[in-house]
Each structure stands twice: as structure tokens, then as C-alpha cells.
Structure 1
Amino acid sequence: MSIMPVLSDEEAGAAARAVFDDIRDTRQTDFVNNFWRVLANDPALLARTWDKLKAVMGPGSIDPLVKEMIYVAVSVTNGCQYCIHSHTAAARAKGMTDQQLMELMAVVGAANETNRLVNGLQVPVDEAFLSDPKA
């Protein structure tokens, strides 16, 4: 259960409704999810977060599916159930298959394991990894 209300369009103020409209327009959908509806309790936070996410997840040199898969991986590592579900749905909508999801989870599991081993053992970074490959 959310510690702040999940605001409907009617309950949200004009500034929050303007962000909701931009979400709908940008995503070409009528659906505004609960994350945005809870952030609408602070319209400035809602707008700031939406603007940043829209820029980061928007067109760029990384494929949109890859961006969603990265978001899933980070969400798994951080234990964010909401983000795991919402970004898995977004990745599936962009074409992610079950096989790709399982391979992604294998990479996430392996990376988390080896990260913990390296951190626990305090393995020094190899000099070769510190040099500039363009130099």
C-alpha cells in the first residue's frame, strides 16, 4: 500500500494533469501508471522526474529495447518490484522475448555474484583496465 494517495486525474492539480497529458502524448496511450499518480502529490517532483526519464529513455544511440532491459536489470538489483514489473512489460512491448528475459536474468545474477566476490575480496583493478584505450 502506498504511503501517499494514488491520485486520479480529477484529484490531481492542474500542474500534475499537464504532466499526465504529456505522458499520454509521449507514450501514445491513455494509461498513466501509479508511479506517476503517486508523484502527482508533489507536482514539481512529478514534472522533474518525468522530464528526466523522458530524456533518458527517449531516442538516443542505445536501442529502446536495450534501455528497457537495462532498466529491468537495475530494478532487479535494487529489488524494486514495481519497476521490475513495469519495465518488463515495457520491454515486452518493445519485443523482448522470454528467452531474452531469462538470458538477462542470468547476466544480472552473474554480475551480482561476481560484484560481491570482487567487493568482498577487495580485488585490485588491473592496470590494463585503467588505461585509456584511445591514447
Structure 2
Amino acid sequence: MSQSPARQRDQLTPGPEQAWREFSKAVFEPGALDAKTKQLIAVAVAHVTQCPYCIDGHTPSAKRAGATEAEVMEAVWVAAEMRAGGAVAHSHRALDAFDTARDPE
């Protein structure tokens, strides 16, 4: 069996891998936002970026930080609305393109 991607990254580039781990740890430490809120944000962002590994990692972390299943689902719905909002916000481009397109002959 081959080694894990994390171990392979660490062997190939130990400096950046360690820096990444330290950065990640620092980001998720409680500060102005508590750990639960940060993990719920991570769950939402993971859905927008469509990263299954992030979803698999941050959802249990959110639960361990005290998030409920309902809070996780609300975070996912916020992410869905924000992702869809981009399409709605850019709809003017389609309308502008339609207005400038030649009419059929």
C-alpha cells in the first residue's frame, strides 16, 4: 500500500508541509471567533469550493467543537445561497449579451 498523501508531501517538502500545519492550527485557534464558528465557516467554504476532503475533515471538527447537525446544515444552506448568488449577480452579463447580439435574419 502506498503512503498517505500527507506523509508523501512531508517527505518531499517538509518545510512547507510543517508551515501549512502550523498555519492551519493557528487559523482554527479560538480568537475573535470561537472554534465552533470557525469550523462552521470551514464547512460552508468546503461546500463552495467543492472539496470532499475538507467536508470530511471539517464536519467532524465542527461536531467536536459543539456544532449541531442543524447548525452544519444551515452552514451548508448559506454556502449554497452564496454560490447561487454569483450566478444571479452575473445575470446582467447574459442580458447585456442578449441586447447586443444580432437579431436573427
Q: Which band: TM-score by shorter chain?
A: 0.7 to 0.9
Question: How far apart in 2 are the matches of 1:69 and 1:94?
Answer: 9
TM-score by length of 2: 0.76
Q: Go from structure 1 to structure 2 and tell me whether the alpha carbon gap of 1:88 and 1:38 turns closer, same or farther (over 3 Å shift).
A: farther
* Aligned position for 2:3: 5
Q: What pairs with 1:29-108 in structure 2 (closer than 5 Å)?
A: 36-41=6-11, 42-108=13-79
Q: Whose RCO is larger (CA < 8 A, sep 6+)? A: 2
Q: Go from structure 1 to structure 2 and tell me whether the alpha carbon gap of 1:83 and 1:38 turns closer, same or farther (over 3 Å shift).
A: farther
The higher radius of gyration belongs to: 2
Q: CA deviation at 1:56?
A: 1.1
Deviations 1:47-79 (A, max 9, x none): 110121122111311111010111111111111
RMSD between superposed Cα atoms in Å: 1.8
Mapped contact 2:43–2:72 kept (Cα < 8 A):
no
Q: Go from structure 1 to structure 2 and tell me whether the alpha carbon gap of 1:61 and 1:104 turns closer, same or farther (over 3 Å shift).
A: same
Instruction: Determine helix, strand or coil for the equivalent of 2:90.
Output: helix
Question: How far apart in 2 are the matches of 1:103 and 1:63?
Answer: 17
Instruction: Determine helix, strand or coil for the equivalent of 1:40.
Output: helix
Question: How far apart in 2 are the matches of 1:91 and 1:38?
Answer: 27
Which amino acid letter does the alignment assign opposite residue 3 of structure 2? Answer: P
Q: Percent identity?
A: 27
Q: CA deviation at 1:121?
A: 2.5
Of 90, 93, 96, 1:119 maps to 90
Question: How far apart in 2 are the matches of 1:56 and 1:69?
Answer: 13
Question: How far apart in 2 are the matches of 1:80 and 1:112?
Answer: 14
Q: CA deviation at 1:119?
A: 2.9
**In the comparison of the two structures, how many residue pairs are matched?**
91
User: Gaps spanning 5+ residues in structure 1: where?
Assistant: 7-34, 123-135
